[in-house]
Each structure stands twice: as C-alpha cells, then as structure tokens.
Amino acid sequence: MKRINIFNNFSIVEKGLGNPKWLYSTIICICFLPIVSPAIALLMGIALSLLGFRHENIHKHTSRILQLSIVLLGFGMNLGDVITASKSGFIETFFSVTFVMVFGMLLGKLFKVEKNIALLISTGTAICGGSAIAAVAPILKSENHQNSFALIVVFVLNAIALLLFPYIGHNLGLSQEVFGNWAAIAIHDTSSVVGAGAIYGEKALHIATTVKLIRALWIIPLSLTIAFLNKTADKSAIKFPWFILLFVLAIIFANIFPSLQPSYEHFSWLGRRGMVIALFLIGSNITIKQIKQSGAKSFALGIILWCITAIGSLLILMQ
C-alpha cells in the first residue's frame, strides 16, 4: 500500500499500481479512439495529475508530439484556404501582438510583477503560449522560477479556454470562420487553439490552426525586438520555429501532388489524434501546487490580459 498526497489535507491510497507508466500508455492508446475528444483528453490529464499519478519523463516529449501533429495536419489543408486565412489575419495579428505586449508590460508595472515574468506572460498571450515563452526565455536569461510561473499561468488559462470558448461560440452563434480567427488570436497555446477549433468544427479547426501558426512566426521579430531593447539579452539564443516551415511545406506538397490524397487523409487523421495526446499530456502536467506557487499577482496579470484580448478581438471580428 502506497500513500499519495494530493492536496495539503487530502490523500488517496494507491493499491499496488506502482509506476504510472502503464496507466499513461493505456490512456495514450485510448486517445486514438474517435470517442476521445480534445476536451476529454485534457480533462483526463488534469484528473490524473490531481490524483497523484504523474509520469516524470513523458512530458518532455509533449512539444515534439505537438509539433509533429501540426506538420501532419498540413497534409489535410487546402493551399488556397491557407493563403486567404493568412492574408485576412496579418493586420489583426500585427495590432494584437503590439497591443498585448505594451499593455501587458504596463499591467506588470501596475501589479508590481517581476519584469521577466510580465514579459513572458505577455509574450505567451500575444503569440503562442508556451512555445513563445520557451523561445523568449533564453534571450531574457530568465530564472527557472520565472519561466515556470509564466508557463503555469498560460497553461491554466489554456485549459479554461479550451472548454469555455466553444461554449461561448455556440451560444453567440459564431460562424466557423469567426470562431477560428477568434480562437487563434485569443487562446494562448497552439494545442488549445487546435483543440478548441476541433471541438467547434472542421472549418474552424483549419482556420484556427493556420492563423495561429502564422501568428507563431511573429516569435522571430518579437525575439529580435526584445534582444535589441534588452541590454542583458542573449542575441545568440534566437531560434527559428522550423516546424512551422515544415507545416507550410506539407501543405504545398499535398497540393502539388493531389493523387496521394488517400495517404494525406491518414496523415491528417494521425495529426488530429496526436493533438489529442498532446492535450492529455499538457493536462497531466498541471498541479495545484504549481498553480499556488505562481502567485496571485501573476495570475491577475494573465487573466486580465487574456480577458481584454479575448473580448476585444471578438468585438472586432463580429463587426
């Protein structure tokens, strides 16, 4: 009998379960079934974490699974639709990224949040959540606790958005196009954007994924700007998100060689299932302890910035 502590005053007893690897392997296999939606996968992961079943090593693969899934999704997209979505989302992206970064830093000063934490949260909100934070952190030379705080805030809000946005979209009667663009702008992480789009509809999924990945390219100019403005920044740490280039190449390849369409459908399906697995892993990496450690001020900054971004972008898109 092995006792597992969950909260400060709550515990359960694990009866001979030993290492949780078998449990994770089983759920990952289940994620390939069509009955497991992105929302269900996320909730399963969170439940597993709260019950104390944590796989210490598997989470390091989450980013790779997510990136590979995105590339595979590219085989199922139409090049013309991608170009249209990219053109329509460029101006909105420029203004939203600029506004979120400036307003986020002002809120950080108002709430007296550490500069690096405020900058990381703002970057994650403006572009693509954890990926943007991971890209900017080496440039800022931020401490591990600062990176963790920013990531926790973004991941928790991601989990809420994944469940909340489709509900709001259906109640407001948003079209697939409007919802896809809204999700790409207002939800932090690419995985949650894709998950919300998948819940809402096939067209929303394609638009949300495309616009979000176009936004992710802004990591490069934003990283350069931060490196230029920050005297202590490490300019050599700037990295290009190569998986986005592979995503674009997958779209182009599929449209040049349409005769291979049956294979592309399999790749696209595998990409969607990979997204479900990534969401499960993200959920299973969220703990109450980490949420508490991030601090009320950091969460207040993240929530206010997120709400303003979500409400403001929705009002503009509905016009």
- Flag whether pLDDT at 165 surpasses 90: yes
Q: List b or e across 40-67, with b for residues whose CB sees 16 or more CB atoms inside 10 angstroms.
A: ebbbbbbebbbebbebeebeeebbebbb
The more confident residue out of 222 and 109 is 109
- Flag whether pLDDT at 44 surpasses 70: yes
Question: What is the pLDDT at residue 179?
Answer: 94
Domain ranges of the chain: 61-317
For the chain, what is the HEC assignment?
CEEEEEECCEEEEECCCCCCHHHHHHHHHHCCCCCCCHHHHHHHHHHHHHCCCCCCCHHHHHHHHHHHHHHHHHHHCCHHHHHHHHHHHHHHHHHHHHHHHHHHHHHHHHHCCCHHHHHHHHHHHHCCHHHHHHHHHHHHCCCHHHHHHHHHHHHHHHHHHHHHHHHHHHHHCCCHHHHHHHHHHHCCCHHHHHHHHHHHCHHHHHHHHHHHHHHHCCHHHHHHHHHHHCCCCCHHHCCCCHHHHHHHHHHHHHHHCHHHHHHHHHHHHHHHHHHHHHHHHHHCCCCHHHHHHCCHHHHHHHHHHHHHHHHHHHHHHCC
Provide the pLDDT confidence category of residue 214 given band limits of 50, 70 and 90. confident
Mean residue pLDDT across the chain: 78
The more confident residue out of 3 and 271 is 271
- Flag whether pLDDT at 304 surpasses 90: yes
- Flag whether pLDDT at 10 surpasses 90: no
pTM here? 0.65
| Burial degree of 262 (CB within 10 A; 0-12, 13-18, 19+) | exposed
pLDDT digits (tens, 9 = 90+) for 248-282: 788 889 888 888 878 888 888 888 788 778 778 77
pLDDT digits (tens, 9 = 90+) for 115-156: 888 898 998 888 877 777 877 877 787 776 677 778 778 878
